[in-house]
Structure 1
């Protein structure tokens, strides 16, 4: 875990969706399409972070789907006030936080949520997009093995954290990666591995590279910075286009 997972900017717009409980999890929901849905998997700031909700609103409108942002941190959230507050970062016990939200705990929870959307909620088509922490979750939902390939129809991973080579190899659905140039977490080695291995898997693959931008830009980018704003807008358009192609 790096400071790049905490820094950034909180956006000022007001989310337009609603809070509810879905499959036993607190959840933010935007849109109202009974057939097509997207899971948005949050970053370290959790399901209440305004930015992640604004992104959910965007995809609900632009793709015309129902969007779910489930709480995958068991009720814990990091305050948006931590953004760019380095003095407060040192007070966080991130190792303990991440132990409570490890892959063996949150992976099956995300899979159960996706299964619920497919069955009880009745969505015929389901996609997933994960930001930072959520990136590995998206890949697991799109994989074989413990996560049935039918859980989701396509995925997007934006500057994923904790992603492994095995998770990259296991993906079995159309996958888009949003990759900033500067990223100590989604390293140059992992970027190269993904670009070399995914085309061998026989699934549609789109690699979106963002020169000059840093880890976290697509969920915590500075709207007052022209380069970051262009990158953020492009990332949103790319993901929306990917979902329109493979879901709708």
Structure 2
């Protein structure tokens, strides 16, 4: 890697989608976790979340849960929270989105779009979605004209977290990534899975959705038998050995970008070949005019990007409804 990849760079341009997240942050065995529930989205009501083992019987009425694993920016990126809300609304089940980076996501919880005092711009409204059934639709504001091209817009620059090294090198980024490899992340996610089983029952069906970095861990959890149905968006850093652990009976949907140096066409096609060999039920979709990160940080004023983001989201909803 020649330099810091923009997929994990909080100073890189990234559109902040319009909408007010309705979920809540709880702690699961010390892990900060964003939880979205259908009842939270009904009139945007304030719902008190139960702690572990409280109201367990009421939560166990749900026979499925979505485990949402984020890309490198983590659970405090507003777009990720809005997506979690939308999955909860459309699937009618709870969505559990843990901080798989243990407090060192590329954006920390105090991260917000930042401008020097007196320099705050008056932003144009960025539409959230064309889908009027989406729970965030009414809060998205007015529409702006679509740009029928694939240019990238610098909507809001991100402020770096306090722990960020100035002018971080590729070596420093690799060191960060190394701190979140399977040896560290797998045990953390095991604690979250344990919570899900205790809170929702041992027979709960867990669906996994993962973006970029999180996509690898959805694949790993499928290979270990924790998840049978998964959806991954431009997944990153996974190995072919991890893909080979997916066998007949597993169901995986992949949504990829046309231009993605982390998931280039060669690796994606090799992945598809292995899925075919193992007998996995799978689908793979590539959207033209998109780059890595389109499904969670794309500029929704660009027609191609918005179409891809919405199509990929609806595809995931359909995939879970059919198989989970």
Q: What's the TM-score once normalised by structure 1's chain length?
A: 0.89
Indicate the residue corresponding to 1:160 in structure 2.
235
Deviation at 1:236, TM superposition (A): 0.4
Indicate the residue corresponding to 1:95 in structure 2.
174
In structure 1, distance between residues paired with 2:78 and 2:273 = 35
Does the CA-based 8 Å contact 1:114-1:152 persist in structure 2? no
Task: Choose which of 38, 43, 51 in structure 1 pairs with 2:66.
Answer: 38
Tell me whether 1:226 sits opposite 2:303 in the alignment. yes
Task: Choose which of 81, 98, 106 in structure 1 pairs with 2:185.
Answer: 106
Task: Choose which of 79, 99, 106 in structure 2 pairs with 1:78.
Answer: 106
In structure 2, distance between residues paired with 1:202 and 1:112 = 30
Tell me whether 1:170 sits opposite 2:176 in the alignment. no
Q: What's the Cα RMSD here? A: 2.3
In structure 1, distance between residues paired with 2:279 and 2:190 = 23
Task: Choose which of 10, 15, 33 in structure 1 pairs with 2:21.
Answer: 15
- Residue by residue over 1:5-25, the C-alpha shift from the partner in whole angstroms, topping out at 9 and shown as x without a partner, is 434322131101111112331
Answer with 1 or 2: which has the greater Rg: 2
Does the CA-based 8 Å contact 2:8-2:106 persist in structure 1? no
Select between 231-240 and 85-94 the one with higher mean Cα deviation.
85-94
1:142 is paired with a residue of what secondary structure? helix
Deviation at 1:97, TM superposition (A): 2.1
Does the CA-based 8 Å contact 2:25-2:33 persist in structure 1? yes
Inter-CA distance 171–112: structure 2 relative to 1 (3 Å threshold): farther
Deviation at 1:39, TM superposition (A): 0.6
Indicate the residue corresponding to 1:2 in structure 2.
5
Q: Could you say which structure has the higher helix fraction?
A: 1
Please list every run of 5 or more consecutive structure 1 residues that lacks an aligned counterpart in the other structure: none
Deviation at 1:168, TM superposition (A): 1.3
- Residue by residue over 1:69-128, the C-alpha shift from the partner in whole angstroms, topping out at 9 and shown as x without a partner, is 001111223336498759969634423322322221012322332243134432611101
Please list every run of 5 or more consecutive structure 2 residues that lacks an aligned counterpart in the other structure: 39-58, 115-153
Deviation at 1:205, TM superposition (A): 0.5
Q: Could you say which structure has the higher strand fraction?
A: 1
Q: For this pair of structures, how many residues does the alignment match?
A: 242
Indicate the residue corresponding to 1:139 in structure 2.
219
Deviation at 1:202, TM superposition (A): 1.7
Task: Choose which of 195, 198, 217 in structure 2 pairs with 1:116.
Answer: 195
Select between 214-223 and 197-206 the one with higher mean Cα deviation.
197-206
Does the CA-based 8 Å contact 1:29-1:68 persist in structure 2? yes
Select between 87-96 and 6-15 the one with higher mean Cα deviation.
87-96
